[in-house]
Amino acid sequence: MGRAGPDRASGVARPGSPASGPRPAGLRPGWLIAGFGAVLVAAVAGLALGPISLPPLSVAAELLNLIPGVDIDSGLTAREAAIVTELRLPRVVLGLLVGGMLALAGGCYQGVFRNPLADPHLLGVAAGAGLAVTAVIALRPATAGDATAGLPVTVPLAAFVGAVGAVLLTYLLGVAGGRDRSPATLILAGVAVSAFLAAGQTYLLQQNVDNIREVYSWLLGRVATAGWHDVLIVLPYAAVTAAIVLLHRRELDVLSVGDEEAASLGLHPQRSRYLLLAAASLGTAAAVSVSGLIGFVGIIVPHAVRLLAGTSYRAILPLSMLFGGAFLALTDLVARTAAAPAEIPIGVVTAFFGAPFFVLVLRRAKRVSV
């Protein structure tokens, strides 16, 4: 009965015993309202601010006009309305989707691996996508005129295939050792796969120095999009990922007490773990395929939500998706306005916020483990 106390590593009480204490609080309506409010504020700010600043209330009214049957005089000219709906809206929506997927995947990885430092790049997703995109850019036939011709179609497809391939390779390597399929084994497999793929990417860059600038423009991350093409690419995968992860989020609370206890409660730990990993990796691959490599979102947002809203994944995952989308939309706003008319790579901005936060998370994790 002595094992019924709180789990020191996860902060989650072990269920199934009168001495286990209260269960982690679930999703509270106030936090859900705050999450949707953050998305709304980020969307309006992203649409209103830029080289041409527009009144936020007029922008909000113009958004309402997109609803069938609604006709409100926003006070914007036809040119200003086109800026909102045709130029800025696709970019803001893409930022919300990519940020939501990266944060949701980060929270899911942290639950599966019971590690607050886990993020969507853990299983080699970044390295796989980076190698594939580097190969497409560096090895494609030379074209006359625009040096980036053909990239809008080939780069997302290559990134998606590379990311998914890296995850599959990590899984195969992680289970190749026999019956030891612990989270630590998969983490080590991901590190090995990432190192191998990163070496391949470095070799390609060294052999094709003329294309380094194009590769790095993608590797540093961006959510710039001309129209709704990229949004339509990532939307189906985002919907599938969100549905699977959110429907199984309660299982992460059970997994947090350990595989033996989870099995005694009727859960199949390995089956649940691989289903959640597959769904999170699918969403991450789709996000990376259209946005490039944007780091730290999967660490910052889920951990901040855990500190503020509680340790239950019933709350962490949906709130991470909402606040992650808002965070990346606002980060993109900073990236395109801080040094206007130039644009800072969004990966640089997220690293500026994420690196200090990562250090704080690491220090806190060390104190908990002592």
Per-residue pLDDT tens digits for 210-258: 777 777 777 788 887 768 888 988 899 999 999 999 999 999 988 887 7
365 vs 113, residue with greater confidence: 113
Nearest to 257 by CA among 247, 248, 267: 267
Confidence of residue 142 (pLDDT cuts 50, 70, 90): low
One-letter amino acid identity for 353?
A: F
Calpha distance 331→350 (Å, rounded):
7
Specify the pLDDT at position 103. 95
Specify the pLDDT at position 141. 61
Calpha distance 273→285 (Å, rounded):
18
φ, ψ of residue 6 in degrees (nearest 5)? -65, 145
pLDDT tens digit sequence for 277-333: 889 988 898 888 888 888 889 988 998 999 898 889 999 999 999 999 999 999 999
pLDDT tens digit sequence for 352-366: 888 788 777 667 655
Half-sphere exposure of 305 (CA within 13 A, CB side): 36
SS3 assignment, position 13: strand
Structure tokens at 361: 């998370």
Asked if 102 and 346 count as a contact pair (C-beta separation under 8 A), the reply is: no
Sign for the CA dihedral angle at 211, 217, 223, 226 comes to: negative
pLDDT tens digit sequence for 70-98: 888 888 898 999 899 888 999 999 999 99
**Domains, the chain:** 28-369 (1.10.3470.10)
Quick check: 117 pLDDT over 80?
no
Structure tokens at 148: 């980036």
φ, ψ of residue 13 in degrees (nearest 5)? -70, 145
Confidence of residue 367 (pLDDT cuts 50, 70, 90): low
Instruction: Collect all residues with Cβ–Cβ distance below 8 Å to 191 and sequence separation of at least 6.
Output: none
Calpha distance 60→7 (Å, rounded):
46
One-letter amino acid identity for 283?
A: G
Calpha distance 344→350 (Å, rounded):
11
Query: Would the pTM of this model clear 0.85, i.e. be above it?
Result: no
Asked if 132 and 164 count as a contact pair (C-beta separation under 8 A), the reply is: no
Question: What angle do the packed helices 313-337 and 89-113 form, to 10 degrees?
Answer: 140
Q: Which of 16-25, 26-35, 117-126 has the highest mean pLDDT?
A: 26-35
Calpha distance 159→233 (Å, rounded):
12
- Strand runs (DSSP E) across the chain, as ranges? none
Calpha distance 21→14 (Å, rounded):
8
